[in-house]
């Protein structure tokens, strides 16, 4: 079970922009073939027959107390695995019941002075039974895998590729259905409570809302509701399975490049946070792009952004100007440090001299232009 809270900047689509009306997102969600009686219907804790227009109105009218530039709503997806969908018989009504329970977890996860109740939330959800390839899928695939000239043609090949490279998709025809069981739910929830007295944002401080705890509680809720492999830590198990697939792919291309046990220890230290899996995926992507990663474990601990920042800062001075002493060669280190200091001083003197020389020229020019007042 993957509970994903969308971030508009990362999603890269204007429909996820949440600083204004929810209209664009609502229209996007009803543009699929998931219709009931010719009309796509939303549901929430109390109702099953909410029209798109009413769903939008409920969110757009619940913004009192928010500034114009603030986000007005949160969007998220509830994504059962193929195994979980099979366990509930791909039953849409059961998934609806589960989404309602997940929204109870969402409310309970906020750390406020007074506990937040599910009845205080303003939200609407819609079930989609399928996923479809879009043009952005093709662009993403071609950008991340420019050297792959072949195309996957069978469902088995596609699923195999998915298992290794989660998030990477294949250049199928736009609007073609993605393979496998893909029933999932989209949820739009107001950033303000129903009384419009407090702001509820999962993107705030970790102490206020823990996305990891929300994801784990949703996993546990599914197990309890549907008696699905009860007693097992499926959150950890799922992360281990996903990480293992990517590690195997990495080591198939670069023999024994990473040690699975060391990576699992990093994941354990981070309490199997979803960020660890994201870092492993990104590591795989960067290796596909033939980037030189000398310390993959450091990369996984701090993430790609900080790793490349550290890496670039070290390279700015060049390979021959590493100021850290090596193998007790302190004399060489001091000598090198002195040389660099002298070079810096000479550079400053030259720049200063050049500056004064220009000032002298400018003064001479100004003096020549000075009119004769005698």
pLDDT bracket for residue 135 (50, 70, 90): low
Residue 139: CB atoms within 10 A of its CB come to 12
Judging by DSSP bridges, how do beta strands 184-190 and 73-79 pair with one another?
antiparallel
Rounded Cα gap, residues 14 and 16, in angstroms:
5
For residues 80-106, average pLDDT: 94
- Contacts of 301 by beta carbon, 8 Å cutoff, 6+ apart: 266
For residues 262-279, average pLDDT: 83
- What is the pLDDT at residue 137? 63
- Angle, vertex CA 329, rays to CA 323 and CA 333, nearest 5: 30
- What is the pLDDT at residue 323? 29
- What is the pLDDT at residue 134? 67
- The sign of the CA dihedral 243, 246, 248, 254 is negative
- What is the pLDDT at residue 335? 39
- Contacts of 129 by beta carbon, 8 Å cutoff, 6+ apart: 34, 90, 92, 182, 183
Encode pLDDT of 171-207 as tens digits. 455 566 777 788 999 999 999 999 999 999 998 776 6
The answer, yes or no, to whether residue 158 has pLDDT greater than 60, is: no
């Amino acid at each position: 079970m993957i509970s994903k809270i969308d971030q508009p900047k990362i999603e890269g689509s204007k429909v996820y922009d949440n600083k204004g009306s929810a209209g664009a997102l609502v229209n996007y969600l009803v543009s699929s073939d998931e219709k009931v009686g010719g009309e796509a219907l939303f549901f929430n804790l109390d109702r099953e027959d909410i029209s798109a227009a009413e769903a939008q109105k409920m969110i757009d009218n619940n913004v009192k107390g928010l500034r114009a530039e603030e986000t007005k709503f949160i969007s998220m997806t509830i994504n059962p695995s193929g195994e979980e969908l099979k366990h509930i018989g791909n039953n849409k009504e059961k998934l609806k019941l589960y989404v309602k329970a997940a929204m109870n977890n969402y409310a309970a996860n906020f750390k406020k002075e007074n506990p937040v109740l599910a009845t205080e939330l303003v939200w609407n959800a819609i079930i989609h039974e399928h996923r479809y390839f879009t043009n952005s899928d093709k662009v993403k695939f071609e950008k991340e895998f420019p050297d792959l000239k072949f195309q996957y043609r069978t469902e088995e090949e596609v699923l195999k590729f998915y298992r290794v490279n989660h998030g990477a998709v294949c250049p199928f025809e736009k609007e073609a259905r993605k393979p496998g069981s893909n029933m999932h739910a989209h949820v739009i929830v107001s950033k303000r409570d129903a009384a419009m007295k407090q702001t509820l944002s999962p993107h705030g401080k970790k102490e206020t809302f823990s996305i990891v705890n929300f994801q784990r509680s949703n996993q546990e809720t599914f197990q309890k509701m549907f008696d699905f492999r009860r007693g097992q830590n499926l959150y950890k198990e799922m992360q281990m399975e996903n990480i293992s697939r990517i590690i195997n792919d990495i080591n198939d291309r670069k023999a024994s490049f990473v040690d699975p046990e060391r990576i699992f220890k990093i994941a354990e230290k981070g309490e199997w946070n979803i960020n660890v899996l994201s870092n492993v995926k990104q590591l795989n992507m960067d290796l596909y792009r033939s980037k030189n990663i000398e310390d993959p474990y450091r990369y996984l601990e701090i993430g790609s952004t900080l790793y490349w920042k550290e890496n670039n800062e070290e390279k700015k001075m060049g390979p021959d100007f590493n100021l850290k002493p090596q193998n007790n060669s302190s004399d060489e280190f001091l000598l090198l440090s002195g040389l660099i200091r002298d070079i810096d001083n000479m550079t400053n003197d030259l720049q200063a001299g050049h500056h004064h020389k220009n000032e002298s020229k400018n003064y001479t020019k100004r003096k020549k232009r000075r009119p004769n007042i005698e």
